[in-house]
Structure 1
Amino acid sequence: MKYVLHRKSNCKKIKIRVVEGVVCVSAPFTVSKKIIDDFVQEQEAWIKNQLDKNTQSKENDLICLLGNEYRLHYINQKMCYVDGHDVYMYSDKVLIQKFLKQNAKKYIDLRFEFFCEQLHIHDISLQYGFYKSKWGSCTPSKHKICFNVNLIFMPLEFIDAIILHELAHLYHLNHSKDFYDLLCTWMPNYKEIMKENKKLPIPKLY
C-alpha cells in the first residue's frame, strides 16, 4: 500500500492518518522502513475503511436513506429529490445538506416522539447538525438533545439505538454500568446493534 512517510524527531511511535485520500505515516528516525511497512500492512483493513469514507460518491452508486436503498444520480437542476428507487441530487453542499436534514428530521422527530411517549419523557427540544465524531449529544440541564443528520444513512434500528442512548443520558450523564443497564432494559440488543453497524461508511455526496 502506498503511503507518504514523515520522519519526526519528537515522534515516539508509528502513527497513521488518512488526509483527503492520502495515507500519511509518521515515525521516529530510529524505526526501520521494514518495521514501518509491516505496521502499515497490519493496519490495512482500517486504512481501507478510512479511504472509503473519503471517496466521493459516484453516479449510479447505491446509497441507503432511512433504511431504503436508492440509486444515486447527479443532475444539473438545483434540487434534490427521491423518485421511486432513485435519488437525484444537485452537486451543491448547502442544497444536499438541506435535503438530508429535512428528511432525517422528519423521521427522527417521529421516532423520538414515540419513545418519549413510551417512557413518559416530556419537554425535550431537538437540534440537528453534521458532526464528524458523534451520533448525538444530550444536555439534561437545558432539556436538549442533538442528533447527527448523517444518521439518515444508517439502518433504522441503529437510529432507534442512538435515540434511546441520548434519552438514557437524561438519567445518567456518563457511560456507567447504571447507564447501560437502563439502556439495555429499553433495548436488550443495543450492544449488538452498535457493534454491527457503527463502522458503516457514510457516503460522501459533496
Structure 2
Amino acid sequence: MENKSLILGYTVVRKKIKNINLRIDSNLNVYISAPLNLDDYQIEKFIISKKAWIDKNIKRFSDYKDINKNLDTYENDSYIFFYGGKYRLVLKIGEKNIEFNDDDIVITNKIIDKESIKKIIYTDLYYPKARKLFVKRLDYYLELMSEKKDINLKISNIKSKWGLCIPQKREIRLNIDLMKKSIEEIDSVVVHEVAHLKHPNHSKNFYNEIDKYFKNYKEVNKKLNSRI
C-alpha cells in the first residue's frame, strides 16, 4: 500500500517502512519515502532540515550532467577524455587517420558511425599509448616499492574495476579506460595493485604500504572515481 502526495513542492510517498528516506533521481527530481503513519508536519520538518543538502546535491548532479554532456557518444562534436584532458571529436570522411589539433582530435575514416569511431579511438589511440605508459609507470613503482620486475601486465576492459592484482601469478591487470585519466590517477591505481603483491587484502598494512609511496592517495582515488 502506497500513498503519494506533494509537500513543500516535493513528491512524498507513504509506504510500509520504518524510517523516512530521501533520494534524487537522474532528472534531478526529489522523492521522499515516509512511514504510513508519519504526519505532514514531521515530513515538513524533515524536508526543511535537509534543504541545504538537497540544494547542494541538485547543483552537484546538475554540474556533473553538464560536464558529461555529449561525452563518449563518439559522434561529431562529442567529447572524449585522454590523459585527463577533455577533447572534442572532429569526424571526417576519408582514409583512416587520427591527429590532434589543439583541443580537438580529428578522426578521418571511410565509415563514420559510433562503433567504427569507438574502435579507432581504442585500437589506434588508447591501446598503443597504454602499453608504453603502463609498463613505464609499473616498472617505476615496482622498483620504488622493492618488488621484482617479473610481472605479467595485462591491459583490458575490466568491468567495474580500474585494476586487478593476482599475487600468486605475479599478474597485474589494468583497465584500458585509465587512458581517460590523468597520470596521477593512473599512478594511484598502479601503486594500489603493486601494494597487493605484499598485501592481498585491503588491510591496514595494505593502506600503510600505499601511504609510504603515494601520500595523497585518498584524494586522488576520490577524483579517480568521480567519473569514468
2:24 alignment partner in structure 1: 16
Give the stretch that moved more between structures: 5-14 or 128-137. 5-14
Matching of residue 114 in structure 1 with residue 152 in structure 2: no
- In 1, Cα distance between equivalents of 2:166 and 2:59: 36
Letter in 2 for 1:179: F
1:105 to 116, 131, 137: 131
Give the CA deviation at 1:151. 1.5
Structure 1 stretches of 4+ with a deviation exceeding 6 A read 31-34
Q: Does 1:96 align with 2:121?
A: yes
Three-state SS of the structure 1 residue aligned to 2:173 is strand
Change (3 A) 1:144 1:53: farther
Cα distance change of structure 1 residues 15 and 192 upon mapping to structure 2, 3 Å threshold: closer
Q: Decide whether aligned partners of structure 1 residues 184 and 83 sit closer, same or farther in structure 2, where only a CA change above 3 A counts.
A: same
Give the letter aligned to residue 69 of structure 2: T
The 5 A counterparts of 1:110-149 are: 110-118=136-144, 119-131=146-158, 133-149=160-176
Identity of aligned residues (%): 27
Does 2:122 match 1:83?
A: no
Rate the CA distance shift 1:149–1:201 in 2: closer, same or farther, 3 A.
same
Distance of 1:64 and 1:171 partners within structure 2: 33
CA distance in 2, matches of 1:79, 1:143: 38
Give unpaired runs (5+ residues) of structure 1. none
Which runs of 5 or more residues in structure 2 are unaligned? 1-10
Task: Report the number of matched residues.
Answer: 195
Q: Is the 8 A contact 1:52 1:201 kept in 2?
A: no
Cα gap change, 1:51 to 1:9, in 2 (>3 Å): farther
> 2:139·2:149 contact (CA, 8 Å) conserved in 1?
no
1:163 is displaced (CA, Å) by 0.5
Higher relative contact order at CA 8 Å, sep ≥6: structure 1 or structure 2? 1
Deviates more, 1:183-192 or 1:56-65: 56-65
Shift of 1:152: 1.2
After TM superposition, the structure 1 = structure 2 runs for residues 56-75 of structure 1, keeping only pairs within 5 Å, are 56-57=70-71, 64-66=81-83, 70-75=87-92
Q: Distance in 2 between matches of 1:54 and 1:79?
A: 27
Between structure 1 and structure 2, the one with the greater Rg is: 2
Provide the alpha-carbon RMSD of the alignment: 3.7
Quote the offset at 1:181 in angstroms. 1.4
Measured at CA, do residues 186 and 144 of structure 1 come closer, stay the same or move farther in structure 2, by a change above 3 Å? Answer: same
